[in-house]
A and B are shown apart, each in its own frame.
Chain A
Amino acid sequence: MSQPNVAISATHVSFKYPGNDYYSLNDISVTIKAGSCTGIIGPNGAGKSTFISLLCGLLIPEKGQIIYHDCAELSIEQAVKNQVALIPQEYAFYPQLTIKQNLDYFVALSERDKYKRPQIISQTLAQCALSDVAHRKAQSLSGGYKRRLNIAIALSKQPTIIFLDEPTVGIDPISRQHIIDLLLSLKKAGKTLIYTSHMLNEVEQICDEVVLLNHGQAIATSSNDNQQMFLSVEFMPSSQAITQLLPSADIVSQQEGSLEIKIKDNADLKQQLLALSQAGPLIKNLHFSQNSIDHLYFNSYRGQ
Chain B
Amino acid sequence: MLLQSVKKEAILICNDLHSVGVLLLLPISFMLIMTFAMSEQYSNLASKMTIKLVGQSHSAHGAALSRYVSGHGFKVVTERAITEIDATIEIKDGFDRALLLRSGGGHIELTLADKLSPQAQTLIKESIKVSLSKLKLHAYMDDLGDFEASMSLDEKVSLVNASADVDYLIVHHETKAVLKAPTLYSVPSWMVFGIYFIVLPISITLINEKQNGTLIRIKTYPISTSRYFSNKALSYGVLSLLQWLTLSVVGLMLVPLITGQPMLGIDNIPLYICAGLMVVFSAIGFAFLIASMVSTYDQAIVLGGGINILMAALSGFMVPVDIMPQQLADLASFSPMYWSGDVIRQAIAGATMIDGAKNLLALGLFGLISFAIALVIFNVKSRKLLWN
Footprint of B on A, CB under 8 Å?
Answer: 49-50, 52-53, 56, 58-59, 80-82, 84-86, 88-94, 96-97, 101, 104-106, 108-111, 153-154, 157, 163, 165
Contacts and interface: CB of A to CB of B under 8 A. Distances in A.
Contact of B216 (A59, A86, A101, A157): A86
Interface in B200-246: 211-214, 216-223
A104 B388 CA distance: 25
Nearest to B388: A49
A88 B213 contact: yes
B216 A52 contact: no
Given A88-B388, A153-B217, 11 more contacts: A53-B386, A58-B386, A86-B217, A90-B212, A90-B213, A92-B214, A96-B16, A101-B8, A104-B4, A109-B221, A157-B220
A154 B387 CA distance: 15
Contacts of A153: 217
A32 to B, nearest CB: 15
B385 interface: yes
Contacts of A53: 386-387
A62 to B, nearest CB: 15
Interface string B268-301: 0000000000000000000000000000000000
Contacts of B213: 86, 88-92
B12 interface: yes
A56 B387 contact: yes
A85 B220 contact: yes
Given A58-B385, A108-B1, A163-B387, A94 B12 contact: yes
A109 B223 contact: yes
B295 to A, nearest CB: 16
Nearest to A108: B4
A82 to B, nearest CB: 7
A109 to B, nearest CB: 5
B221 A81 contact: yes
A152 B15 CA distance: 23
B26 to A, nearest CB: 21
> What interface size band does chain B fall in?
20 to 34
B144 interface: no
A106 B213 CA distance: 14
B5 interface: yes
B81 interface: no
B151 interface: no
Interface string B1-31: 1001101100110011000000000000000
10 contacts: A52-B387, A58-B385, A58-B387, A84-B220, A85-B220, A88-B216, A93-B214, A97-B12, A111-B222, A157-B221
A93 B60 CA distance: 84
A154 B16 CA distance: 26
Nearest to B223: A109
Nearest to A98: B11
Interface string B178-212: 00000000000000000000000000000000011
Contacts of A106: 221
B4 A81 contact: no
B155 to A, nearest CB: 75
Contacts of A88: 212-213, 216-217, 387-388
Contacts of A111: 1, 221-223
Contacts of A94: 8, 11-12, 214
B222 A97 contact: no
9 smallest beta-carbon distances between A and B, as pairs: A88-B213, A92-B213, A96-B15, A108-B4, A52-B387, A90-B213, A90-B212, A53-B387, A92-B214
